[in-house]
Copies of this chain bind each other. A is one copy, B any other.
């Protein structure tokens, strides 16, 4: 297990050997999928796979299930992670990103065409994994999430460089581009994990965790430290992506309210300066608090769900963990 996964140490401990075993089988399955669909996918996607990541979505799948469920949990976990990987590969193409988690991106090693096609292939394999389970409900959950992720990208594009974007619109974007797949992960865990009657409530828990996750991510983009986040501060600003910290800060600082991102934030230095200015307004604590309301929302929703205590505790830890990062 690599470093980012170590952050989930408490969750893994709470989930016991069963969770560790299921995650190991997910890794095996992901490696098989990547190796089994042509040299090109193997070459291009192996790096993305090996770069790891927290496997947070598979963890949610497993924590929402009762034990090993009906044998289709690993397929579900692999499918949500494949979909996540597909979006990462496409994001890197769009951002022209050379590195992700310290490794060359598919875009950097294979070029734009190979990376777009690799993303499409990962997309397809995500659906293939679930299709093999024979569950229409599961495929529907994934296709809904997959549509939301793409809509989230489109909304982000439509709102790019708009300093006046509303908080409601920002929240909707978080829901589409992040929370939807967290929701689907919990839903799939319930469906295949012997708790189909809990698919809706656990889906809502996942959604709240996803919202908190994205909101904290947006705080970290402003606060850094970049050695921990793995990207320069203000990367969102350079893309024209206006997030909660800036939305809150523009109410307190007239200069920020009339900022022209396209003209005034053209390099990492300018982006870092805006980050400093946003932080100086004191909004980062407010934005963190906003993220924490969604953690609280997740926990409140969890309290209503008929789950064994140890599972509820493990999911609580995940919810706390997404905003506890680098704190």
Q: Which residues of A contact B (CB under 8 A)?
A: 37-41, 44, 87, 90, 93-94, 110-114, 116-121, 123-125, 127-128, 130-136, 139-140, 142-144, 146-147, 149-151, 153-155, 157-158
Smallest CB-CB separation from A123: which chain B residue?
Answer: B123
Report chain B residues within 8 Å CB of A121: 147, 150-151, 154
- A248 and B223 CA atoms in complex are apart in Å by 60
Q: Is the CB of A157 within 8 A of B117?
A: yes
Report chain B residues within 8 Å CB of A125: 143, 147
Sample of 14 more A-B contacts, CB < 8 Å, known A120-B150, A120-B153, A128-B144: A37-B151, A40-B157, A90-B116, A116-B116, A117-B151, A118-B150, A118-B154, A121-B147, A121-B150, A127-B127, A127-B143, A128-B143, A131-B143, A139-B139
Interface centre among A114, A147, A149 (most CB of B within 10 A): A147
Report chain B residues within 8 Å CB of A39: 158
Smallest CB-CB separation from A96: which chain B residue?
Answer: B112
One complex includes copies of this chain to the number of 2
Contact of A154 among B41, B153, B154 (CB under 8 A): B41
Report chain B residues within 8 Å CB of A127: 127, 139, 142-143, 146
Could you jot down 10 A-B contacts, CB within 8 Å? A39-B158, A90-B116, A114-B158, A116-B116, A117-B150, A117-B157, A120-B149, A123-B150, A128-B147, A131-B139
- Smallest distance from the beta carbon of A275 to chain B beta carbons, Å? 23
Contact of A140 among B123, B132, B144, B155 (CB under 8 A): B132
Report chain B residues within 8 Å CB of A149: 120, 124
Is chain A's binding surface mostly helix, strand, loop or mixed? Answer: helix
Interface centre among A40, A116, A118 (most CB of B within 10 A): A116
Smallest CB-CB separation from A132: which chain B residue?
Answer: B140
Smallest CB-CB separation from A93: which chain B residue?
Answer: B116
- Smallest distance from the beta carbon of A147 to chain B beta carbons, Å? 4
Report chain B residues within 8 Å CB of A38: 151, 154-155
- A191 and B138 CA atoms in complex are apart in Å by 21
- A113 and B38 CA atoms in complex are apart in Å by 27
- Smallest distance from the beta carbon of A30 to chain B beta carbons, Å? 15
- A130 and B87 CA atoms in complex are apart in Å by 21
Contact of A111 among B40, B143, B144, B157 (CB under 8 A): B157
Contact of A128 among B134, B140, B155 (CB under 8 A): B140
Q: Is the CB of A41 within 8 A of B151?
A: yes
Contact of A136 among B136, B144, B154 (CB under 8 A): B136
Q: Is the CB of B123 within 8 A of A120?
A: yes
Report chain B residues within 8 Å CB of A41: 151, 154
